[in-house]
Structure formats: C-alpha cells, structure tokens
Amino acid sequence: MADFDLVVKGTVVLPDRIVEGGHVAIRDGKVAHVGQGAMPAARERHDLKGAMILPGAIDAQVHSLSQKNQEDFIWSTRSAAAGGVTTIVDMPYDEGDLVCSAEAVARKVAHAGKQARVDFALYGTIDPEEGPARIGEMVEAGVAAFKFSTFGTDPKRFPRIPAALLEDCFRAIAPTGLTAGVHNEDDEAVRAAIAKVKALGISDWRAHGLSRPPLTELLASCQIYETGAATGCPAHVVHCSLGRGYEIAAAYRAQGHRATIECCIHYLTLDEENDVRRLGGKAKINPPVRPRAEVERLWRHVADGNVTLVSTDHVSWSEDRKTNADMLSNASGVPGLEVMVPLFVKGALERGIPLTRAAELMSRNPARHFRLDHVKGALDPGKDADITVLTPEPYTYDAAESGHNVVGWSPYNGIRLPWRVAATFLRGRLAFDGRRVLAEPGTGAFVRPPATLPVAEAGR
C-alpha cells in the first residue's frame, strides 16, 4: 500500500540548506515529508535526477487588471504557472475598479476565482476621499496587505496619498499586524524633474531616467519608513532600484523598526545604458531601470541579506502602449511572471550566490510578509504542496514563442537562461508540465491571512 500520493526526487532547495538526492512526499495536496535517500512508496513517483526542486514561488506584486480587456487573471495566472509561480499577490489598482472596500474585495475574489489557474492573494487600498475608514472591513474581507503611493499616476486609479493621510492609514493598519506597502517616488520632486526634462526637449530613451533621478526615490523611501516608525506600522517599500535604498531599510531595521524592502526582477536584470537604450518604452518602469553599476550593487544586497522579497511588478500592457517614440508617453511596467524564477537563478549562479536565496526571497519571505505562511511558502509538513521544478536545459527566452502570455513581447526576449521551469505543482497537482499549462481556470483559490493573528506573530 502506498504511503503517499506523490513523491518527487531531486536536489531540494530550501531557504536554509540544499538537500542533494532529496525528495518531497505529498499526501492530500499537502507536504507530508521531506527526506533524503531512497524514495518512499507512493502512488506516483518521479526521480528527477539533475533537477532542482524548490518551493513554489509567490509573486508579491502583480497587476492583472491594469488594462481593461487585456490580460486579466486568465492570462496572468497562466504565465505564473508556466514560470513556477504558484501564488500571485494582486495589486488593488484595477482599471475601472479601485479595490478600496470589502465589497470591492469580494467582487474581485469572485471575478478572479473563476479564472485563476494558480492561487491568489489580494492587496487593498483606499479612496483618498474616504480615508482609512474602510481598512478594517478590508482586513475582515481577507486582504493580505495594503498598498499606497507617494506619487499620483492617476487621481482615481493610482492616486497619490498625501503625508498626513498616509500617516492616518498607517495608524489604522498598525493594530492588524498587516503591512503597509508604498510606491516610493516623491510626487513634487518627480514632477519638477519631468518639467526640467521636457524643457530641455529630451524625449528619447534617456528621458525617463532623467525624469526620476535617484533622490526622488530615496526621499519617498525615507518618508515611508519614518511614517512606519512614528505609527508602529510595518512599512514596506514595494520596489527599490537603488543600493542606497536597501542601506536605508537596513538602518531602520537595525533601530528596531519593521522596515522591509522589495526588489523587482527587472532591477536585477536590465540596465539603463544597454537595455533601456535598446528597448525604449518596452523598458519604461517606475522607478526607472538604473545603470549596470547599480544592478550589481543590488545583487550584493541580495547576497548580504538586505533584500526582503523579489517580485515582478508584472503588468502586460498591449504593445501599442509601450512603443511611443516619446519615452514619457509610454505606459510604465513590464510583464515578468513567466521568467522571474529562471532569471533569478541565472543571476545568482553567475555571481556565486547560493540558491537558498531563491527559496527565501521568492517563497518563504513573501509567505511570511503577507501572513500566508500557515499554508504557503515552504516545503514544510502540513503546508500546501506547491513545488517548482527546474531542469538544466539552456534556452533563449521568447515571449511570443512560449504562448503563455497575452502580449507576446518581453524586455527579457533574447536572454539565454541556463535552467528551465520543467514542472509546477499546485497543492500536489501538476499545473504545468514544462510545455503546457494543465491547470484549468478556476483551479486557483483565494488565500488570505488567518482571521486572527497571535500577538507574537502580528509583531514579527
């Protein structure tokens, strides 16, 4: 009689160690056992030999609904499954529907639940005209964190939250134990820089970086962390492109404050002088992609443990919104769900960074950050059997050729990747077999923090 439903064997990559010749045993969709040596009896067994077995990735920053009638969860979660991502955390800035109430959360859960091929959690935000009044009801509705911005892209869909209102929101969130994540660009400083660039008549690839110089990002980061320090609310910078930003976050943590910081995969991969110059609007992201020297500084912070999470900030704008010759007229953001894990593995291996960082920064830490670690983020007994399998099959990424994304373009096209996602398991079931996404729409489930958090955990 089989002891388990499924056993997979290979090199098991955990946040604290790598287990050569290890195996993961699964029963009823949960991890039952992680071991080494001979595989135990199971109804289904796979000896994957040279493959790496990692906990399923959690992408902490996804925009599935930024453009109406474009991507939606039907495609974002398809890309996720193909990229070894088993849970996405979706942002609250949906075109036509700001997620700022319990009703909006419920509406989005119902909408996504019919389409999702992998599991999903949700951010909430506020309507600036209402203030923090609905934060409590969104916590009850199951949001995993809150998102705000110090820069206003759109007064309704992506509004700026002024300093006093941001403080009020932090104070309302603090007792819940959830985190306040903030887009870190100083509105006044950015608008002054944009005006200067336009006055100089610069409109090519250089314009975006010049319109958002480093100080515009660092000023906002300091505001975010100081607001957290003043209110006792966990403060999170949702994307940082500068090594200095990670130093600032580390200084606040050293002083005892809950100050976390996220690095997007594009900041670890693309650079301004080569990629932005070559790609133009297809590499326009806020904050901007920085010079190669800054990319290498970020990798040093990864190695040193100063990065909390790695995510994509994934958004699939249609190509017509990314190809304007006037750099500043393009939409900001790029797709990345399908290649985040292989890109991180490539970068880590090239720099001698242990792959335990992959399990830490793309699985364990995001699960803890969003209070989902009771079910997600680790190959621990009793947790969901979410697994990413990578095999050493070098290939050149091409978004159109893959067929697992809605847009068919990517700033990562042409990059040679040494490891391929060969399989993705969601709760013990094969969601991606290396070529085809097998998970049907509706397979994914809404995941949320526990209804109550122990005080010790809420302060973690």
| CA–CA distance, 184 with 188 (Å, rounded to integer) | 12
Buried b (16+ CB within 10 A) or exposed e, 419-454: bbbbbbbbbbebbbeeeebbbeeebbbbbbbeeebe
Torsion of CA 401, 406, 412, 415, to 10 degrees: -20
Q: Which residue reads 């943590």 in tokens?
A: 253
62 pairs with which residues across the strands? 90, 314
Would you call 331 exposed, middle or buried from its count of C-beta atoms within 10 A (0-12, 13-18, 19+)? Answer: middle
Percent of the chain with pLDDT over 90: 95
**For 341-382, how does the pLDDT look when each residue is reduced to its tens digit (9 = 90+)?**
999 999 999 999 999 999 999 999 999 999 999 999 999 999
CATH homologous superfamily of 4-53+382-432 equals Urease, subunit C, domain 1 (2.30.40.10)
Sheet hosting strand 145-149, strand order edge to edge: 57-62, 85-90, 119-124, 145-149, 180-183, 235-237, 259-264, 309-311
Per residue in 179-237, pLDDT tens? 999 999 999 999 999 999 999 999 999 999 999 999 999 999 999 999 999 999 999 99
Torsion of CA 36, 37, 40, 42, to 10 degrees: 80
Q: Are strands 180-183 and 235-237 parallel, antiparallel or unpaired?
A: parallel
> Which residues touch 170 (CB under 8 Å, ≥6 apart)?
180, 227, 228, 230, 231, 233, 235
CATH class given for the domain over 57-373: alpha beta
Q: How confident is the model at residue 453 (pLDDT cuts 50, 70, 90)?
A: low
Q: What value does the CA radius of gyration of the chain take, rounded to a whole number of Å?
A: 21
Helix 214-231 / helix 187-199 crossing angle, nearest 10 deg = 170
Q: Render pLDDT for 94-130 as a digit per residue (tens, 0 to 9).
A: 998 999 999 999 999 999 999 999 999 999 999 999 9
* Segments making up each domain of the chain, as ranges: 4-53+382-432, 57-373
- Tell me if 4-53+382-432 shares its fold with 57-373: no
With 0.85 as the threshold, say if the pTM is over it.
yes
Sequence-distant (6+) residues with CB within 8 A of 12 are 18, 19, 22, 23, 24, 34, 53, 379
Give residue 282's pLDDT band: very low, low, confident or very high (50, 70, 90): very high
Residues for the chain: how many in total?
A: 460
pLDDT digits over 324-342, tens only?
999 999 999 999 999 999 9
Say how far apart CA 35 and CA 42 lie, in whole Å. 14
ω into 175 cis (within 30 of 0): no
Q: How far, rounded to the nearest angstrom, does the alpha carbon of residue 433 sit from its chain's CA centroid?
A: 23
Nearest alpha carbon to residue 365 among 120, 87, 175 = 87
Sign of CA dihedral 145, 149, 155, 158: negative
Distance CA 299, CA 214 (A): 18
The two three-digit tokens of residue 258, written as one number: 């809950």
Contact predicate 322/331, CB 8 Å: yes
Nearest to residue 101, comparing CAs of 138, 130, 65?
Answer: 138
CA distance 390 to 350: 17
382 is written with which tokens? Answer: 């009793």
* Per-chain mean pLDDT for the chain: 96
Q: How far apart are alpha carbons 70 and 74 in whole angstroms?
A: 10
Let me know: does 64 contact 93? Beta carbons within 8 Å. no
Share of the chain above pLDDT 70, in %: 98
Residue pLDDT, tens place only, 73-99: 999 999 999 999 999 999 999 998 999
Q: Tell me the pLDDT tens digit for each residue of 135-184.
A: 999 999 999 999 999 998 887 778 899 999 999 999 999 999 999 999 99
Which residue in this structure is represented by tokens 């953001």? Answer: 333
Residues 6 or more apart whose Cβ sits within 8 Å of residue 304: none
What would the DSSP string read from start to end of 112-128? HHHH-SSEEEEEE---T
The pLDDT score that the predictor gives to residue 381 is 97
Q: List CB contacts of 201: < 8 A, sequence separation 6 or more.
A: none
Residue 206: in which H helix or E strand, if any? Answer: helix 206-211
